[in-house]
Amino acid sequence: MKYCVECGSEYQDHVTECADCTGSKLVDAAEMRQRGLPLPHERDTREFIRVGTAEDPLTAEDFVRMLEAQQIPVFSRARRAGTVDVLTTGNLQPWWEILVPEEHVARATELLNQEKVRLDSTADEAAQAAEDEERESEQAGAPSVLS
Ligand SMILES: [Zn+2]
């Protein structure tokens, strides 16, 4: 048997890709255990809990890498917006949930919050830089009505 590292689904050995998670890796039970990922039949003894979400796969990957670096077993799973969202917003954007074992929830939540602040501040700096540039060009081109 092989298992999807993204969603944990079980597959026959000849299958090479998860039907649900495009491009995800299928590995054997030993490697799942090595990565600290739950096998389907172990799920009830080891609860994985959602500690955060990401709106794009790169952010999800960043979160997973960051938590793995802290020795926390973690996986992300792609979800899709529900039908209600499709009707109200007209888009069907997938999102990703970040899951860790119950005993790591507190630490993972803290680390995720730190990481989000870091990502946000990077985005803020970029926005600030663009704003500054805009202000400078406005000033340069503005007529000097005060003099
Ligand atoms: Zn999968």
Query: Which pLDDT belongs to residue 42?
Result: 66
CATH value at residue 73 = 3.30.70.1530
Say if residue 93 is in the same domain as residue 117. Answer: yes
Ligand 1 centroid to 133 CA: how many Å? 44
Q: Which domain holds residue 14?
A: 1-46
What is the total residue count of the chain?
Answer: 147
Say if residue 57 is in the same domain as residue 3. Answer: no
How does pLDDT run across 87-126, given as a tens digit for each residue? 555 556 678 999 999 889 999 999 999 999 998 888 888 8
Say if residue 13 is in the same domain as residue 57. Answer: no
Q: Mean pLDDT across the stretch 5-34? A: 89
Contacts of 24 (CB under 8 A, 6+ apart): 4, 5, 6, 7, 17, 18
Ligand 1 centroid to 121 CA: how many Å? 32
SS3 122: helix
Query: Which pLDDT belongs to residue 135?
Result: 82
